[in-house]
Structure 1
Amino acid sequence: MRILLIVTTLLLALAAPASATKPVGLLKPEGPFPIGHRTLHLTDAGRADLWMPDRRRELMVSLWYPAFPLGKPAEYMTAAESAATVQGLKLDLPDNALQQIRVHSREDAPALPASRGWPLVVLSPGMGNGRTTLTTLAEQLASKGFVVAGVDHAYEAYNVEFPGGRLLQCQACQNAGRPLQTAMDNRAQDVTFVLGEVLKQQAPRVDASRIGMAGHSMGGGATVHALATDARVKAGVNMDGPFYPVVDIPKPLALFTSPVGEEEFGMGWDAAWPRLTGWKERRYLAESGHSSATDNGYLAIALGQKDKMPPNTWLRLYGTGDTVEWVRFFRTYLTEFFQARL
């Protein structure tokens, strides 16, 4: 898949030039609730890993949730993840450059109570991307009264830290020949497992009858798969991702497409669209790029990286529009969609 060929350039977009000293932060969430953040390490003992069959399937999950404003600020990524990215790309930067990106959540803050539980939204990132790339969307949703579970699908992103100091790499990026539907089915199984574990949490308390999912690129395809396979997932948003399986889905689904997405996945969308029998919306965003929903574009500008990227690569990733406004658009849409559908 051609999209995988730009993963390294996308990662470069997250790194600052050596001269950058001004602190960089994410967009401020718009909701009334302070935000807590918690990291979960989950192991599905009953399932072998698709990419590393000699290991059980492991996942790193970030929970963002309405919280009391207590505790220290959370980190955008861990020190090890930041250092590995900086060193791996041979950047002339402090090892903690990416760790220092400011967020608006507090680590392990006590969760606010909710009598019936908070609605839950699962976020699944694109292939090669970590869950951190959807942090702006996650913090916005949490500030509006959702619990958000951002999933790092093991061996499908670069430099993701697991317990014991293990930094897992994107084995899937080296296995592009594996059927796309198999990979997305694997992600849907991840989501089913994550839901079971998150619903066991006493705080934040989740309302099991109000669960949705959104994903970018491969994560968008996984969203469609989860809608088809897990009855608990009630509604979904696919942000420029592939469209498998071609089966009847009677649930609300929104699809946002970019020129790159239309080029890569348009035929699959056309084939699947008539099989969606619930509420549906398909919107072509002509000025967007494949990764306009992520943090990466506006962080690249804030950190001085736009001019270091080939213009055509930038166009494919982030389009011609204002990168901040695209992220604002997606976070507003997701909030309103899930408020209406869950």
Structure 2
Amino acid sequence: MTTSESENGAYVEPGEFKRDTNYITTRITADGRDGYRVEPGRYRLVATRACPWANRTLIVRRLLGLESVLSLGLCGPTHDKRSWTFDLDPGEVDPVLGIHFLRDAYLARYPDYPRGITVPAIVEVATGQVVTNDYAQMTLDFSTEWTEYQRAGAPQLYPKDLREEIDLVNRRVYTEVNNGVYRCGFAGDQTAYDAAYDRLFTALDWLEERLSTQRYLVGDTITEADVRLFTTLARFDPVYHGHFKCNRQKLDEFPVLWAYARDLYQTPGFGDTTDFTQIKEHYYIVHTDINPTRIVPKGPNLAGWLTPHGREALGGNPFGEGTPPPPPPVAERVPTGHQPA
């Protein structure tokens, strides 16, 4: 199989799948130590509902109530080799940044930028330059550096006393699950696929056991760890089970994980940022190496996401001493028909 660029700096290579993890690591902080201070209105988050890595930022931004200080530009679910594009906007141009290709924001800062154009990205509005695309650090900074502008009642997604355990869980979830589904889907030979498949389901079995006695991954409230796992689980049956050959069993055949995923989906901030139509369109249309016909499947039936989950019996409270976020702004609501009715 020839090398070809996939999503978010990922590449298909002969043998084991490799992901390019060299992101722009500039940080936006309360003290501005990298030259970019947290300021309302200064930056624009560019994301897409289709991508799991970008979906994390949509969830955290909403949970913390940062909508009024960090504006949002949404790219469509598909892209070509050049860039993600703002094809959902009138004229296919972002109304704030004035660009069609997200690539333009990267090139504005790095004229010879050599890597893939990835989402999420944060762009400085005044200069039109990308500041960072380091998605893992981005959401942690929303929790720790943007505290002055978080809503009243915002949850503690990265509490100091749980950070060590959250980091440990996140490392395993990232390597074995978030990235594990990609190792299956983009494996270049049978041996690599078999190994990736075994690693993925070993980790899912571990999560099934861990979550059988506790409502959330770390502590008794939602944390960054739950956000990171959720975006992969939400895509499992619509995409990864078939498209990426992760087919030992579907998510809805894991009694505990399926209940856990439904619990989160029904929590404000999770389900209301999840767009199943765009998720399917992205994977089945963009990944032509895997799906050359670009046919997007009609299923699966999504109604189960709204059924009772019973996880309340384990105790815990999703927001701890905080409160749920209000409904999303009208302009940011998932289109009708893109979610279970």
Normalization by structure 1: what TM-score?
0.28
Structure (1/2) with the larger helix percentage: 2
Structure (1/2) with the larger strand percentage: 1
Normalization by structure 2: what TM-score?
0.28
